[in-house]
Amino acid sequence: MPVRAGYRRRRLSLTPLIDVIFLLLLFFMLSSTFTPFAELQLGASGPGAAAPDAPPLFLHVGEAELSLNGTPVALAALAAEADAQSGDDGALLVSLGPGVSAQRLTDVLVALEAARTLSVTVLGR
């Protein structure tokens, strides 16, 4: 076999690589969503908030169950039941049980958003 004399390696062109990167960037930009995250409005809190006259309600959130002042309640009926028990300006303390996920807490807070007369406070662990 004869060996080719003067064989030189060609330099790799970066133009196709730049094109591929541009196409990937364009794909990810067009396929992503730019919708803002939903905000949950919780009740007034802090030093300027007025203290309610009635004792606060206590909501215990478990992995699959909810109890409002010790009485089991369904998620769909939570806002109506809390409004019925709280009166005009009530406070609601939310306690999380072990193993409660962030999604479960968010579902409960969204359900409580319909109860406009409540000032919601989530207790820490």
Asked if residue 24 belongs to a domain, the reply is no
Q: Per-residue confidence of the chain (125 residues) as pLDDT tens digits?
A: 566 667 788 887 888 889 999 999 999 888 887 666 666 666 555 444 555 567 888 999 988 899 988 889 988 888 888 888 876 677 888 999 888 888 888 888 888 887 767 788 888 76
Asked if residue 86 belongs to a domain, the reply is yes
Asked if residue 103 belongs to a domain, the reply is yes
Q: Which of 83, 80, 96, 27 is nearest to 54 (CA)?
A: 83
Distance of alpha carbon 74 from alpha carbon 77, whole angstroms: 5
Asked if residue 70 belongs to a domain, the reply is yes
Asked if residue 9 belongs to a domain, the reply is no
Asked whether the whole model's pTM tops 0.85, one would answer no
Look at the chain and report how many structural domains it folds into: 1
Q: What is the DSSP string of 33-52?
A: --PPPP---PPP-STTSPPP
91, 118 in Cβ contact below 8 A?
yes
Asked if residue 118 belongs to a domain, the reply is yes
Q: Do you know the residue count of the chain?
A: 125
| CATH classification of the domain holding 101 | 3.30.420
100: containing domain: 57-122
Q: Is 105 left (phi over 0), alpha (psi -120 to 50) or beta?
A: alpha
